[in-house]
Structure 1
Amino acid sequence: MLLGVIVGATVLVVVMLCAFALPSVKGGPHHVPLGLAGPPQATQAIQTRLPRDAWDVSTYPDSQALQTAIKRREVIGGLAPGADGLTVYTAGAGGQQAAAAITALGAGMAAQQQAKATVQDLVPFPADDPRGVGFTASALPMIISGILPAVLLLRLFPGHANLRRRLAGVILFALVAGAAVAAVLQYGFGSLHGAYWLTALGLSLGMAALSIPFLALESLFGMAGLGAGAAVMMLLGNPLSGMAGPYWLPSGWATLGQLLPPGASGSLVRANAFFDGTGAGGPALALVAWALAGLLVILIADRRTARSARAEATAAAAA
């Protein structure tokens, strides 16, 4: 038993190390959508020098079209060579790591040509939080806000008879907590801007997409199911959430992270707070799917328990 505990704890430590450190160690540009605008000869010369596994290049006829594409989230940034140097366009709120990489890329190319590089951030973070620290750090609190109400309500209202009460509780908590967290981030920290209530509803949806599946797992497998779900979200959902920008993770891991509730919630808040809702459809659909899947499992567990109770009552009456 002692050997099993030691081996199990060691495996857990290694898994945590890989989950939290591997995305940073292996992080880098992975198929980052990059736009190029300018004379065809100049853009072609730049494109041939870019690693294909790092950048997905799209070309535009002029810098105005490139700027529009960045604001519509078709690309995360771009380069526009011209007679007076190289203009680097970024969207810091779309992913600060990608924006920094594009800035460094433009500066390096301009230095090789002995030209001047001018950087324009078209979608920056608010002036009160120019690096987006508050937004980036919100992933772990969002996960905890999904676990905490489920655990508290299970303690306060245990048993199958209180299943619907617990479900109503986590939904109400998500609405209240989403509004509170959005208020702190937007008005307290100055980390967000945009329509407050739209951002608050997005946060509430993200919390519900965590809490409802946690309740569903508990209704089927008990506290062990809730614990397993919480571990998955902590060990995978948090480090793969891509709050600093999903393009910094390997493609498969980035896709998985955006499908999990923490990553989808972060993407939804990013779209609503900084891009006027552009790109919000996919993350919102993922979160709704998680919430509906949890509701379906709860319904199945509810009916299964009800049938079991009726069968036991019938057997008792017959006896």
Structure 2
Amino acid sequence: MDTSARRAADTLPSPWPAVGRTVVLLTALVGVLLTAFTWPAVRSHVHDVPIAVAGPPPAVRQVGAALDQRLPNGFAVTEVADAAAAERLIRDREVYGAIDVSSGTPQVITASAASTAVAQTLQGVAAGLGQAPGAGRTSPVRELVALPADDPRGTGLAAGALPLVMGGLLAALLLTRLVRGTAPRVGGALAFAITGGLAVAAILQFWFGSLDGSYLANTGAIALATAATSLSVIGLESLLGYAGFALGAVTMMLIGNPLSGTSTAPEMLPGWSGTLGQLLPPGAGGRLLRSTAFFEGHGATHSVLVLTAWLVFGVALCLAGGLPKRRRRLAAAPDESTENAAA
């Protein structure tokens, strides 16, 4: 009788207040998604982007004043003596580009592999310097670290950021639903990180031509980022259940991915958001992959430390979440043994 009544109730149309609550929830979710993915892009601008200016101090100060006039607070200038020192800072990923006035005629040095957006901004600066009194029609631009010829705009690297995050979340979802036990889940996440890293690096490097450098180093960067993402979400789910999975997904997808700065540069994101993004796996993973692909690993230390910390954090949460289950199994074992002996 009760079962038939419940079935009859299930076939009745939902009350309009329930429909209204669902519509309000969907509207809020759309607003959150739009804000998360659009706000960083709309508010991105050049501010405190590190560059080098090479040359004698008077000329460097003159260039700094011209930059402040053209883009107030746009650049954080590091003064160096010559072009060689500026190039060294670019290759070490301490600056995004440089302006060399050591030979008298200004020359702009760019590194599109570090950020196409910053490189384009510096090209605009070159045009502005060329309009200065006594300058030629335009200042020459020299590319120091270029993107691959098959992907000169870095589209593959920028577009691949979201699938990498989704891959880590998908791994966490399937492993928590289909695999039981802390050790099997952790082992599965690490195995997928390796196989997924091999596959993604091969596609980006050998098919799309979006990556240079060592294939194994690029694989390691992708694998570390994937493992950090999936294990941290698995750990949250192990400790907090569905709420933990939702928290991890929101952190990685709605915060980490939009604030990663992969398509522009972290320094171009509004306010503190770029710094926050580099402390999350998507941002750290994107910067690490640029370092391995185009800069021979220079500038990778911070990203490796961040990703390793997230990986260790995820494993610790998995262990903490698995302890109560292990204790329940151990507590149940003597009871089962007693029942078997009595039988």
TM category, shorter: over 0.9
Specify the code of the residue in structure 2 equivalent to 1:267. Answer: R
Aligned equivalent of 2:185: 166
Counterparts of residues 254-293 of structure 1 (less than 5 Å):
254-293=274-313
Aligned equivalent of 2:244: 225
- SS of alignment partner, residue 140 of structure 2: strand
Root-mean-square deviation over aligned CA pairs: 2.1
- 5+ residue gaps, structure 2: 1-17
Report deviation, 1:314: 7.2
- Give the one of 42, 50, 58 matched to 1:33: 50
Specify the code of the residue in structure 1 equivalent to 2:157. Answer: F
Q: Give the TM-score normalised by the residue count of structure 2.
A: 0.86
**Take 2:143 and 2:234, find their aligned partners in 1: how far apart are those partners?**
43
Aligned equivalent of 2:256: 237
> Do structure 1's residue 122 and structure 2's residue 144 form an aligned pair?
yes
**Take 2:174 and 2:95, find their aligned partners in 1: how far apart are those partners?**
43
Aligned equivalent of 1:75: 95
> Do structure 1's residue 154 and structure 2's residue 184 form an aligned pair?
no
Aligned equivalent of 1:101: 121
Change (3 A) 1:192 1:308: same
- 5+ residue gaps, structure 1: none
Residues 36 and 255 of structure 2 are in contact (CA less than 8 Å); yes or no, is this contact kept in structure 1? yes
Aligned equivalent of 1:135: 157
- Give the one of 251, 264, 267 matched to 1:247: 267
- SS of alignment partner, residue 34 of structure 1: strand
Aligned length: 315
Q: Give the TM-score normalised by the residue count of structure 1.
A: 0.92
Change (3 A) 1:119 1:134: same
Specify the code of the residue in structure 2 equivalent to 1:197. Answer: L
Residues 95 and 246 of structure 1 are in contact (CA less than 8 Å); yes or no, is this contact kept in structure 2? no
Aligned equivalent of 2:59: 42
- Provide, for residues 243-277 of structure 1, a one-character-per-residue CA deviation record: whole Å limited to 9, x for no partner: 12222113410111111101111111111111111
**Take 2:201 and 2:178, find their aligned partners in 1: how far apart are those partners?**
27
Report deviation, 1:125: 0.5
**Take 1:120 and 1:261, find their aligned partners in 2: how far apart are those partners?**
33
Report deviation, 1:81: 2.9
- Give the one of 194, 215, 223 matched to 1:196: 215
- SS of alignment partner, residue 131 of structure 2: helix
**Take 2:316 and 2:79, find their aligned partners in 1: how far apart are those partners?**
45
Aligned equivalent of 1:9: 26
Report deviation, 1:59: 1.2
Aligned equivalent of 1:87: 107
Percent of aligned pairs with the same residue?
A: 40
Largest Rg, 1 or 2: 2
**Take 1:139 and 1:169, find their aligned partners in 2: how far apart are those partners?**
22
Specify the code of the residue in structure 2 equivalent to 1:131. Answer: R
Aligned equivalent of 1:53: 73
- Provide, for residues 38-66 of structure 1, a one-character-per-residue CA deviation record: whole Å limited to 9, x for no partner: 23322211212333632101111122222
